[in-house]
Amino acid sequence: MSEMLMSALKYSRQRESIKTFLTGRTDHPTAEVIYTALREDQPHISLGTVYRNLSLLTQLGEIRKISTGDGPEHYDGDMTPHHHFICRHCHRVMDLWSDDADQLVKVASRDFHGQIEGCSVNFYGLCEDCLKKFDAS
Amino acid sequence: MSEMLMSALKYSRQRESIKTFLTGRTDHPTAEVIYTALREDQPHISLGTVYRNLSLLTQLGEIRKISTGDGPEHYDGDMTPHHHFICRHCHRVMDLWSDDADQLVKVASRDFHGQIEGCSVNFYGLCEDCLKKFDAS
DNA sequence: ATTTTAATATTGATTCCTATTATTATGCAA
DNA sequence: TTGCATAATAATAGGAATCAATATTAAAAT
């Protein structure tokens, strides 16, 4: 998104509440989940508005989109560099803090003749809870 | 996919040709691209068949799905551990060979109480070609 | 006045449904 | 064994349905 578009962006209560909702949680809700939750306080908010503002916030770099590769997109209000773990059983998305995010980009940039601006790292497997369930059965 | 299901899997010419097509290229085509290409030799192959077999092959671990986070899924027939770079301008998906794939999982597993089975690393930015175009203008 | 909203319509990717076809397994005869 | 007919079952084709996401547009808000 260009500077022009950014500065042309007016305040909106809906966008504000989407941002606040996201930064107030550590899970990584989908557009649908956000929509359902916000509707409790703002019964007239529309799903289209949620989608549009999630895109806007992502473009502005205020939130991150997480593609799990299976099902709808998830969103994360925490912009601190970190990775994600996606459970193949319960499909939860969890934070995974490793201090190698910068290092990754640096190493990759060494033998790549383009401009790397960011990276996303997703780990796949079974989360602690699901692992226990599998062990029990 | 379990052994039982695997052994129940009958041969199909369509699945064979999808696999062959994918391993024979170094780009990372979408389902639509694969469908269009295969139809030249097999005019009756259906898009549904392509999708179903791409899912099957992915589950069997014979190919990889690449979620770019923008637009349709891409597929990769090369199972050697490597990363991907996605150009935000031309949307091409390119291989990026770094020898840290195993290391990544090991480091992440240290402070995660679940079972990490794999990871996918996507880099974002401008590819060499697009960078040149931007510099020129 | 211009942007934002809300509601609707539309798009695009993927999955589902089902009658038909292809592949594999079985039985029997040569 | 081999060959062939037939049965059993899985896979396909084609279209319809679904789901996420975007575009449109008239009305509301700033």
- Segment A30-48, tens digit of pLDDT: 999 999 999 988 888 999 9
**SS (HEC) of chain B:** CCHHHHHCCCCCHHHHHHHHHHHCCCCCCEHHHHHHHHCCCCCCCCHHHHHHHHHHHHHCCCCEEECCCCCCCEEECCCCCCEEEEECCCCCEEEECCCCHHHHHHHHHHCCCCEEEEEEEEEEEECHHHHHHHHHC
Start-to-end CA span in chain B (Å): 51
Residue with tokens 């205020």: A62
Would the pLDDT of B54 be above 80? yes
Which CATH code for domain A1-79? 1.10.10.10
Cβ atoms of residues B79 and B33 within 8 Å: no
Domain with CATH 1.10.10.10 in chain B: 1-79
Domain with CATH 3.30.1490.190 in chain A: 80-137
Residue A4 confidence (pLDDT): 36
pLDDT digits (tens, 9 = 90+) for B88-102: 999 999 999 987 878
Would the pLDDT of B1 be above 90? no
Q: For strand D, which residues in window 41-60 of chain A come within 7 Å by CB? A: 47-48, 51-52, 55
Q: Which of B69, B73, B108 sits opposite A96 (nearest CB)?
A: B108
Q: What is the dihedral of CA B21, B25, B27, B30, to 10 degrees?
A: 0
Best residue in A66, A87, A123, A126 to probe B by mutation, most B CBs within 10 Å? A123
**Residue A51 near chain B (CB below 8 Å):** no
| Chain B CA closest to residue A103 | B100
Secondary structure letter of residue A43 according to DSSP? T
**What's the CATH architecture for A80-137?**
2-Layer Sandwich (3.30)
Q: Which nucleotides of D are covered by protein (CB under 7 A)?
A: 9-16, 19-24, 30
Would the pLDDT of A15 be above 60? yes
pLDDT digits (tens, 9 = 90+) for B31-52: 999 999 999 999 999 999 999 9
Measured CA to C1', what is the nucleotide nearest A13? Answer: C4
